[in-house]
Amino acid sequence: MKKIRGIAGSPGIAIGKAKKISDSFFSYKKVKKIKEENIDAEIKRFNESVNKTENEILEIIDNIRRITDKEYAEIFSFHLSILRDRNLIEKIEKIIKKEKVSAETAIRKFVDILDRELKKEHLKARKKEILDIFERIISNLCPKNNKLKDIKDGIIVANDLSPTQTVSIDKRYIKGFVTSMGTETSHTAIIAKALEIPAVVGIKEGIEEIKENDVILLDGYDGFILINPTKNEIEKIKMKEKEKENLRKKIYILKDKESITSDGKKIKLYANIQLPEEVETALKYGAMGIGLFRTEYLYIKRTDLPTEEEQFLSYKKIIEKFGKKEIIIRTIDVGGDKFISSFQGPKELNNFFGLRGIRFCLEKKDIFLTQIRAILRASYYGNLKIMFPMITTREEVIETKKLIEEAKKELKNKDFKIKEDIEIGIMIETPSAALISDELAKEVNFFSIGSNDLIQYTLAIDRVNEKLSYLYQPCHPSVLRLIKITVENAKKNNIKVGVCGEMASIPEIACLLIGLGIDELSMAPISIPLVKEKIIKNSFAKMREIAEKVFNFNKHDEIIEFIKKNLN
Ligand code: PEP
Ligand code: MG
C-alpha cells in the first residue's frame, strides 16, 4: 500500500482500478508518410474525423444540458467554432497534400505552428481547449487510442484532464479521477465539483508509480490516494464513506434547519457560484444567499463580450430563482489564471501581480460600465449588491464609485428603473486592503474577505502552483492577523464583513472565523451542510474563546489542531 498526497479537487470517495490515460499524442514525434495516390482518401478520412468530432461535441452539449441543466455546455461552443472554421481545416488539408503525410502527422505539424501563436498571452487560456479539440480529432482517426470512451469501470489516472474530458466522464462507469496537474481552483476541478465527481488533483510525485489496474482508493475530501490499499484501509475508508453518506442523508434535514450556534447566534451561510444555473444547487444545499457570483465566467466561456442586455438577463435569472434573498454580484475578475479571449492584454511576466480585477476594469472602462449598468438594471428586481475584486488602494474605490454614479445617471436618462441605494462592497484579498481597511470601510457598505488571494499575496505563493500547496496555509498567523484587523475595522465603522474564500468551507475554520466576528460565510454549495452542522453543535462563546487563543500559537498546523480539539 502506498499513500500519495494531492489536492482535494472535488469531494467524494471512490475505489476502483487505475485506468491510465497517457499524455497527448503531441509528444509523439514520428512522421507518417503517405503515397501520392492516397492523398484524397487521407483528406476524406481527416474530414470524416472532423465531422465525427463535431457530432460528439453536439452530443456532449446535449448530455450536459440534460444531466446538469448548467451553462457548462456553452464552454463547448468554442470547440464548435474551431471545428467549423473552414480556413483552419483547409490549412491541415494543405499539409497532407503538400508534405504527403498522414492526417495525424499533419495535425501535429499544424499544432506545432499554432503552438508559437498560443504562447501569446491572450491565447494562453485557450491553449488547453484548442489542443483538446485536435486531440479529439486524432482519437477519432485512430479510435483505439480513445481510452476515455472505453473505460467501463475504474478511476482515471492522468497527467491532466481537459474540460472536455471532464464533462465526458460517464459517472455510471468512471468513479473519479486523479491528476498530477491542477489545484482546487483549476477549471477542471471547478467542473468536477459542479458535476459531483470525486477528484484528487495536483499530485506532485508518485503518480507515475501507478500501474494499469492497480486498485486506487481516492479521497476527494482530504485530497489523497492509496495505491493497492490493504483490507484494513479499505474498511476504514468505507466507514468514512458511510459517515459521509449519513451526512448526505442529513443534508435534507440540515437544509431546512436554521444556521444557529448552540447559544443562539444566527450565522449567514451563502453560496459561491460561477454561472446563474448553479443557483439550483445552491438552493438544494440550503444556501441563504449568494455571497459571491464570479461573473467572469460569463465572459470566459465565449469569444465575444456579453452585452448589457445579456448580462442583465443572467442576473435577473438568479433573482427569479432566489427571490428576495441577498445576492452579491462580484464584477469581472479577469487576470491571474482567468482570461477572456475578447481582450488581448499587455504581455505580463506575472499575471497574478498584473492587470487583474479592478485594475483591468479601470483600464477597460467601457467593459466595466456595461457590466455596472447591467447590475444596476437587475438591482431593481431583487436584493442585489455589487462587489469589486482586487482592491489595493482607496483611490480605486473612489474612482469605481464615480463610475457607478455615472452609470446610474445614464440609466435614469434612459428611463430605466434601478435601486438607487444599491449596497457597494469590496473584496479584501490583498494585504494592503486589509491593512488600510479602516480607510476603506468609510467608503463602502460591506467587506468580503477573499482568502484564496489574501493567502496567495500574504505568503507570496502562486495559488495554482501545486508545488507550493504546502504553503497554502489559511491559518498562518499572518493571515489570521490580517483577518482580525479587517473585522475590527469593519465593526468600528459599522459595516458587515464576510469571507468568501475556500477557508470558509472548512467547518473548523468556519467556526474560528465566526469567533473572530465574521458575519457571513460563503462557499461552494456542497460545503454548506457540513459547515452548518459544526455551527449548530458549538457555541458562539466557545468560538470566541478559540478566536482569542489562536493568537498564542505561531504555527498553522498547531492552530488547526487546537481548533479541532476544542470544538464538538
Ligand atoms: C478569493 O480570492 O478568495 C475569492 C473568493 O476570489 P477568487 O477565488 O475568485 O479569486
Ligand atoms: Mg480572489
Question: In the prediction, which pLDDT does 379 show?
Answer: 97
**Regarding beta strands 326-330 and 446-449, do their DSSP bridges make them parallel or antiparallel, or are they unpaired?**
unpaired
Question: Cα 79 to the chain's mean position, in Å?
Answer: 20
CA–CA separation, 39 and 52 (whole Å): 20
- Give the pLDDT score at 343: 61
Q: Which residue has the least CA distance to atom 8 on ligand 1?
A: 452
Is there an atom of ligand 1 within 6 Å of 450 CB?
Answer: yes
**In the β-sheet with 2-5, what is the strand arrangement from edge to edge?**
2-5, 224-227, 215-219, 13-21, 154-158, 174-179, 199-201, 7-10
pLDDT of residue 383: 97
Q: How do residues 14-49 score in pLDDT, each as one tens digit?
A: 999 998 886 555 445 567 889 999 999 999 999 999
pLDDT of residue 382: 95
Beta carbon of 483 within 6 Å of any ligand 1 atom: no
Q: Is the CB of 451 under 6 A from ligand 1?
A: yes
Q: What whole-number distance in Å separates Cα of residue 151 and Cα of residue 179? A: 16
**pLDDT of res. 26:** 47
| Count of C-beta atoms within a 10 Å radius of residue 252 | 11
Cβ(273) – ligand 1 distance below 6 Å? no
CB of 223 within 6 A of ligand 1: the answer is no
The alpha carbon of 473 and the centre of ligand 2 are apart by a number of angstroms equal to 16
Mutational test site, ligand 1, from 184, 187, 462, 500, max ligand atoms within 8 Å of CB? 500
Given the C-alpha cell 481510452, which residue does it identify? 147
Give residue 437 CA to ligand 1 midpoint distance, Å: 18
Which residues in the chain come in under a pLDDT of 70? Answer: 22-30, 66-75, 117-126, 128, 143-150, 162-165, 167-168, 185-187, 194, 301-303, 336-349
Pocket probe for ligand 1: among 270, 447, 453, the residue whose CB has the most ligand atoms within 8 Å is 453
Q: What is the DSSP letter of 198?
A: -
The ligand 1 atom at the shortest distance from the C-alpha of residue 449 is 3
Give the per-residue pLDDT at 11: 87
- Cβ of 429 below 6 Å from ligand 1: yes
Q: Ligand 2: distance of its center to the CA of 341 in Å?
A: 20
* Nearest by Cα to 479 from 531, 554, 389: 554
- Say how far residue 65 (Cα) sits from the centre of its chain: 19
Cα 390 to ligand 2 centre (Å): 7
498: helix, coil or strand? Answer: strand
Q: What is the pTM of this model?
A: 0.70
Non-local CB neighbours of 538 within 8 Å, separated by 6+ positions? 261, 262, 511, 567, 568
Q: Which residues are catalytic?
A: 187, 500
Residue 265 is placed in which grid cell? 447566534
Domains and CATH numbers, the chain: 23-145 (1.10.274.10), 149-236 (3.50.30.10), 256-566 (3.20.20.60)
Determine the distance separating the centroid of ligand 2 and the alpha carbon of 351, expressed in angstroms. Answer: 13
The Cβ of residue 460 has, within 10 Å, a number of other Cβ atoms equal to 8
For residue 27, the model assigns a pLDDT of 47
CA distance 193 to 190: 5
| Residue 505 beta carbon below 6 angstroms from any ligand 1 atom | no
Kindly report, residue by residue over 155-189, the tens digit of the pLDDT: 999 887 765 567 667 777 889 999 988 777 666 77
